[in-house]
Structure formats: C-alpha cells, structure tokens
C-alpha cells in the first residue's frame, strides 16, 4: 500500500510516526512519502532553517524533544546565547546547538548547489528514514517563505508565530516565491500514484494550505485515483496545538472541525478531500458532513502517544477503505 | 604615535597585546591599526571562517583560549560533534560552539551585503577593541584563499596546515583571488600615515607574505615615511611556533632569523624593512644585518607573557627610534 502524507511540523510528524507504527503491524514495508511544508523556511544568521522538515526528521528518526514536539532531545543553546552578544537580531528565536548541526550540513550542501530535495535526502540518511520505508520530500525545491501582513507591513511567518505568538492581527498570508515555485521532483507522482493520500492534523492554513498552493499539487489531488482523507486539527472548536484559530480567522474560516473540512472542500465538488476524521466531541459535524456526501467519522483523535496515534491512523485509513 | 601592525594569527595577536600593554604606560591613547591576513579564510559548512581576524579579536578582547593561543576560552564542540554524524567532511577541523557564534554573525552580515571590513568592525564592537585604540582591518574585502600545491594537486591551506600538519611537501602556495583583490578601505592609508609600521613574529610566508602580496601594500610600505620594523619569528634556526620552516622551505628560504630578514629585504635596497629584532640566540645575525645597513638588535624575543611581550614591543619600537 503506497501512502502519501501532506505534512506540517509537530502534528504531521506525530501522526506519521503513528501511521508507521500501524503499518508495521498491518502492512510492513509499505512505502510512505511525506511531502513537507517548506513555507516556514528561512535564512537565519546565514544558515537555512527548515522547521517542518527537521521536525519530521527528528520525530521519525527518534531524536525529537518529546515534550516540546520539535527540536532535538538533550538540546542546548550555547551558540545562540553567545550569538546574542553580537546584537544580530532575532534573539527570540533560539537555534539549538544540535539543531544547528543540521542547518550547517544543509547550508553546506545547498551552497554546493544541491537542491533542497537532495539535501533533505542526505540529511535523512543519518536518521535512517529509508529503513522505515519513508521518503521525505520538500513540497518544492524553490524557496517559498510565508510572510504575514500585519498593521506595520509584512513580517516573516516565524516572527509572527514565535515572537508575537500570533497575537498581532494578521490581514493576510503572502507566500513569497510561490508564483515561480514548482513541486519538488517526485511530489506530484507521489500524489498521483498513491493508494491513499493523507492530510494529518496539521495547520490547514500555513502548513497544509501552503503545500496546496504550490502549482500543480491541488490539481494532482483532484486527479489522483487514491482517496484523500484527513484528520481534523480542531477538536471541539479549538486547535489541539498551535495557533491555527488565528490563521483560520485571517481567512474568515471558523475554527471548527466542520468549517475546516468545508474549507478544504469535497473532491466531488471541486475540493481536495474525500473523507474527514473528527473527534468524538465533533460527532455532529461528522453527521452533517456524511449527510453531504463525505466519508466522515468521529473517534478519539487526541494523539496521546504512539499507540493512540496508530489507532487514529487506522481509523482514517478505514475512511479510505483500507 | 600612530602604529600599524601587519599580523597573522597567534604570534601577531600576542605581540599586539604586548604592544598595547607597553603603549598603555608610555603613549596612552595611541591609535593602533592591525591589518590582518585573511588568506586562511574559508567557507566551511556554509559559514565564513576568518581564523586570523578571530584570533586577533579574541586575544585583544580578553576571550582567547590562553594555552592554545587561538579560539575561545571555555570552548566546547557540541555542534561539530553532531555535525560529524552527517558525514559532511572536514571532520578534522573542529568549529567550537562559541567560535561558531562569531562565524554565524559574520555570515549573516556578509550575506546581507556588508563588506568584510564592516562585518569585522561590528564583530570587534563586542570585544571593545576601539576602547583600546585598536582598529582591526582585514587586508582585503575580497576573498583571498591560500591554496597549497601538493603532489595530488591544490588543497586549501587549512587542509595542509591543520589536517596534514604541513607534512605533505608543498611545491608552492597559490593565493586564489589575489589578482583581483584590493587592499581594504583604510589599509594603505594606515601604512602611509603611520609613525611606525610593525611586523610581529608572524609566519613570513603564509601570514605576512600574503598581506604583502595584496596589490598596493608592498608599494605603500616602500613609500611610507614611517620606519618599518619587525620581530623575527625564528629563534636559533627554528620557528617559535607553527610550521613556518615548511613554508619557508617551499620558497627556498632557510629557517633562520637572518634569511627571513633578507627575504623581506631592506627598504633601502627595494625590500620592505628597515629594522629587525632577533633573539639573543641569533646575535651574530643581528651583527651581520647591522653591517649591511639594517637597524638590528638582539634581545630575548620569547613572548612568555604580556609583560615580556610589552618589553619586546618596546625594543622593536626602539629600533624604529621611538
């Protein structure tokens, strides 16, 4: 069974880890392609930082800081602390020492002329993702950076997200570079050739939304013979994690499981989804979606731990008929 | 009294620190311009490393690893250790964590379009060099990288120096970029307007020799009204530190105090020096040079500590008539 996942950072990484645990018992050896959002990427202090790719690598590679959900376990911040003494700005964004090793290796290879795809493949080799059947792809090899229009103008998404904790009213999100971006090699084929395409409970605006905005990806999702199913990142009217409500508000979308599903849209009517797994708290939403032709179901969607997440993955694959 | 120093790394930095200690008692407030070799600079793992500039900054800023002579005190290598797991090469060249902060700040500013001069000025601000009357300048704002021709072809100087400990026979040194390099802003004026120009006991080939090879610098040394005096890096037929003998051998120059002086040459006969301070072990060399018109003197030139170095600085200024 060939699976393709469109993923942001923490939520997508945890979901994919659960999916792998589920497949290990039911379909061992199933190839899983993870297409990661790279809209949060940036050049910081001269190195290339790719938050979602790294969260996926560390989580699937067993090196993630478990409580935090991102970054490396046993991390320290000796470099960042010293760097602050040079007054370089962005001192609210700490680059961990171990995490910096990843950025340095990536920057070296990018500067040597390798694509982000090839660079990601080399980084992932250390974390043995291929041994788990996982191929990690950036959504695009071209830089796409999400900026946020606030009262004072455009700021980088990470400044809005990390520094301001999404508290500055956002008028709109601007994906700088998107016009000339292409899907990375393998991305469109992974969607077209999949048996199931999965949307994990990632941020529907700045994670999955950015992936969907890459030219060709939305069309590939409409064309694929595979069912496209997702897990709601909203439970009972609030995001499980992160500041998705603020992002959705910018688009005029309510922070509810149903509104997010309708924002993605049903494939039969021009959207990208066939099925939507919601939490038991949102059973009514599942019923209304089902009445409108969705494959919808309610279950406990809190990813407490890997076994719980494996069960959620099984449920959403069930929506896809697998 | 305006002083200008042409410096490599450890030897030049220690000498300059002693010079400042001497001036603090005799000529407080004297402006000292240090022109640093940048031929050892390189891009490593995507960041710009400038070994001699950093050794000067850390030494004059009170942050140097005293026993080692270069790098930061209380240094660690967490990033480098983790980076090695990515198989990026150059694992014999450890970038310290604190040192990396300097490289990241520099790389950020260079990537923003600042010159190496302006970048160096910003970095030096943290170390309060201006408060000591010191202006630290790179020899050039254009990248100049010393490569070494060995049997297998050209390798970067740092690979020859650090990895091979200068044990591979070197056919010649090639300064990549030198043809199109210009002296950095302020460099030629600092030589022309100085009251004394000093050559510290730095490597005469790959440190001072590289500075002298920058277009315009040798001419400025010939033209300046200031006496140009130096301290021999060779004592009793051997370099005090480093692998200068191997470098000199490549040029066919004996590793003696006298041969190095004659390699630099007397200004009156087309060279760059007026005076040469040698160790008491080389008293005979001083006598022979003096007989040929040099201002030459022998004294204890081992830079045991700051007071001993201050005394050496006083001696060489004495050769300059100050």
Longest dimension (CA), chain B: 60
Q: Tell me whether B123 touches chain A (CB under 8 Å).
A: yes
Quote the pLDDT of residue B225. 97
Nearest to B46 among A46, A83, A125 (CB): A46
Rounded average pLDDT over B177-187: 96
Q: Tell me whether B78 touches chain A (CB under 8 Å).
A: yes
Residues 143-182 of B with CB under 8 A from A: none
Rounded average pLDDT over A238-242: 84
- C-beta of residue B27 within 8 angstroms of C-beta of residue B1: yes
Q: Tell me whether B73 touches chain A (CB under 8 Å).
A: no
Quote the pLDDT of residue B237. 87
Q: Do B47 and A46 touch (CB under 8 A)?
A: yes
Q: Mean pLDDT of all residues in chain B?
A: 96
* Band of residue A322 on the pLDDT scale cut at 50, 70, 90: confident
pLDDT tens column, B29-66: 899 999 999 999 999 999 999 999 999 999 999 999 99
Quote the pLDDT of residue B114. 98
pLDDT tens column, B161-181: 999 999 999 999 999 999 999
* Band of residue A242 on the pLDDT scale cut at 50, 70, 90: confident
- C-beta of residue B104 within 8 angstroms of C-beta of residue B97: no
Instruction: Assess if residue B109 is contained within a domain.
Output: yes
Q: Which domain holds residue B83?
A: 3-144+178-319
Quote the pLDDT of residue A36. 98
- C-beta of residue A144 within 8 angstroms of C-beta of residue A175: yes
Nearest to A105 among B86, B100, B123 (CB): B86
Half-sphere exposure of A145 (CA within 13 A, CB side): 17
Q: Do B45 and A105 touch (CB under 8 A)?
A: yes
Instruction: Assess if residue A272 is contained within a domain.
Output: yes
- C-beta of residue B303 within 8 angstroms of C-beta of residue B9: no
Using the predicted structure, report yes or no on whether residue A241 has a pLDDT greater than 90.
no
Residues 6+ apart with CB under 8 A from A52: A7, A8, A9, A12, A36, A37, A38, A40, A207
Instruction: Assess if residue A304 is contained within a domain.
Output: yes
Quote the pLDDT of residue B242. 81
Single out the residue of B84, B186, B197 nearest to residue B136, CA to CA: B186
Rounded average pLDDT over A6-13: 97
Q: Tell me whether A79 touches chain B (CB under 8 Å).
A: yes
**Domains in chain B: how many in total?**
1
Quote the pLDDT of residue B241. 81
Quote the pLDDT of residue B240. 84
Q: Tell me whether A126 touches chain B (CB under 8 Å).
A: yes
Quote the pLDDT of residue A243. 86
* Band of residue B278 on the pLDDT scale cut at 50, 70, 90: very high
Q: Do A45 and B104 touch (CB under 8 A)?
A: yes
- C-beta of residue A197 within 8 angstroms of C-beta of residue A267: no
Instruction: Assess if residue A290 is contained within a domain.
Output: yes
Q: Do B47 and A47 touch (CB under 8 A)?
A: yes
Instruction: Assess if residue B160 is contained within a domain.
Output: no
Rounded average pLDDT over B179-198: 97
Instruction: Assess if residue B158 is contained within a domain.
Output: no
CA distance B257 to B152: 32
pLDDT tens column, A27-73: 999 999 999 999 999 999 999 999 999 999 999 999 999 999 999 99
Phi first, then psi, for residue A90 (nearest 5°) are 50, 35
- How does DSSP assign A116-158, residue by residue? HHHHHHHHHHHTTTGGGTEEEEESBSS--EEEEEETTEEEEHH
Instruction: Assess if residue A247 is contained within a domain.
Output: no
Instruction: Show residues of chain A in contact with B122, CB under 8 Å.
Output: 86
Enter the ipTM: 0.93
Using the predicted structure, report yes or no on whether residue B227 has a pLDDT greater than 90.
yes
* Band of residue B243 on the pLDDT scale cut at 50, 70, 90: confident
Q: Which two tokens stand for residue A85?
A: 């003494």
CA distance A95 to B101: 11
Q: What is the pTM of this model?
A: 0.95
Q: Tell me whether B3 touches chain A (CB under 8 Å).
A: no
C-beta atoms surrounding B89 within 10 Å: 11
Nearest to B46 among A47, A83, A126 (CB): A47
Using the predicted structure, report yes or no on whether residue B210 has a pLDDT greater than 90.
yes
Quote the pLDDT of residue A237. 86
* Band of residue A291 on the pLDDT scale cut at 50, 70, 90: very high
Checking A145-150 for CB contacts under 8 A at 24+ apart, the result is A145/A39, A145/A40, A145/A41, A145/A42, A145/A175, A145/A176, A145/A177, A146/A39, A146/A40, A146/A173, A146/A174, A146/A175, A146/A176, A146/A206, A146/A210, A147/A173, A147/A174, A147/A175, A147/A176, A148/A172, A148/A173, A148/A174, A149/A173, A149/A174
CATH of the domain at B20: 3.40.50
Quote the pLDDT of residue B151. 94
Nearest to B46 among A82, A111, A126 (CB): A111
Single out the residue of B139, B128, B123, B135 nearest to residue B31, CA to CA: B135
Q: Which two tokens stand for residue A154?
A: 């455009």
Instruction: Assess if residue A301 is contained within a domain.
Output: yes
Instruction: Show residues of chain B in contact with A105, CB under 8 Å.
Output: 45, 83, 86, 88
């Amino acid at each position: 069974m060939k699976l393709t996942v469109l993923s942001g950072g923490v939520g997508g990484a945890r979901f994919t880890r659960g999916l792998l645990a589920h497949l290990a018992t039911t379909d061992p050896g199933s190839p899983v392609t993870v297409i990661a959002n790279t809209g949060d990427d940036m050049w910081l202090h001269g190195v290339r930082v790719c938050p979602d790719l790294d969260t996926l690598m560390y989580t699937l590679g067993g090196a993630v800081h478990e409580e935090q959900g991102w970054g490396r376990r046993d991390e320290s911040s000796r470099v960042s602390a010293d760097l602050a003494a040079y007054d370089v700005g962005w001192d609210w964004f700490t680059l961990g020492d171990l995490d910096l090793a990843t950025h340095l290796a990536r920057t070296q290879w990018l500067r040597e002329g390798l694509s982000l795809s090839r660079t990601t493949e080399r980084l992932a080799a250390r974390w043995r993702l291929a041994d788990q059947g996982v191929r990690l792809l950036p959504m695009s090899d071209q830089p796409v950076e999400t900026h946020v229009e606030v009262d004072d103008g455009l700021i980088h998404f990470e400044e809005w997200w990390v520094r301001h904790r999404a508290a500055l009213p956002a008028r709109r999100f601007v994906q700088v570079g998107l016009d000339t971006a292409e899907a990375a090699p393998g991305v469109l084929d992974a969607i077209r050739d999949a048996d199931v395409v999965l949307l994990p409970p990632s941020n529907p605006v700045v994670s999955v939304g950015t992936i969907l905005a890459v030219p060709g990806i939305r069309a590939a999702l409409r064309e694929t013979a595979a069912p496209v199913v997702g897990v709601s990142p909203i439970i009972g009217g609030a995001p499980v994690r992160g500041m998705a409500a603020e992002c959705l508000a910018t688009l005029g979308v309510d922070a509810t499981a149903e509104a997010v599903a309708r924002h993605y849209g049903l494939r039969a009517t021009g959207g990208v989804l066939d099925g939507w797994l919601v939490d038991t708290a949102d059973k009514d939403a599942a019923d209304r979606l089902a009445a409108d032709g969705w494959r919808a179901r309610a279950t406990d969607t809190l990813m407490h731990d890997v076994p719980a997440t494996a069960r959620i993955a099984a449920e959403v694959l069930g929506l896809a008929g697998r």
